[in-house]
Amino acid sequence: PHLVRVTESIVATYAGLPADFRALAAAARELAIDHARRWGADASLRTLADAVARHVQERTQQGGYRPYGCALVLAGRDEHGCGLYRVDPSGWYAPWRATCVGEGAPALSEKLAEGFDELRDLDAARARLVELLAAEDRVVAVAAVAADGALDSALDLEPNATVAREAVAAAGETDET
């Protein structure tokens, strides 16, 4: 799967090697469990992103190990609100309002930034993502973390212009071409 739950309120997705993502998602779960045991509270999204980034960076320097071959995106909701973090294979991480990873990420990031502030609700944001990614003939993976931490409508879609038109139409932005 392209989307996995790390904690009750944090999900992860990736670009790169699927096996490395599975290993990194398992490591993120272990780091979250260790934090909860040690501190008696769930790790915030920033704390978990920092711990995962440190783990990834350590792998770049350990003998007998190769670095992880995937970039990770962590999204979730905690006591500070909604958040989105990207962790690169080097161990660098940063918070984002909207981001993407993988082939063509810089161009797609620019397109995501265009008109980002006009997206008023989840449906409009979801439709914009589906529209951009389907137009690029890419697999679309969209998820939303609800206020109570529930994973709201995760979906993996194969590239399909019809799906993009339907999603855009559902958001009230029809384009009949």
pLDDT digits over 116-170, tens only? 777 767 677 777 777 777 776 666 556 665 556 555 544 444 443 333 333 333 3
Neighbours of 35 (CB within 10 A): 18
Categorize the per-residue pLDDT at 94 as very low, low, confident or very high, splitting at 50, 70 and 90: very high
Q: Is 102 left (phi over 0), alpha (psi -120 to 50) or beta?
A: left
Residue with tokens 């990736």: 14
Instruction: Return contacts of 99-105, CB within 8 angstroms, 24+ apart.
Output: 99/73, 100/15, 100/73, 101/14, 101/15, 101/16, 101/71, 101/72, 101/73, 102/15, 102/16, 102/71, 103/15, 104/136, 104/138, 105/15
Helix (H, G, I), strand (E, B) or coil at 32: helix
pLDDT tens-digit map of 2-42: 888 899 889 998 999 999 999 999 999 999 999 999 999 99
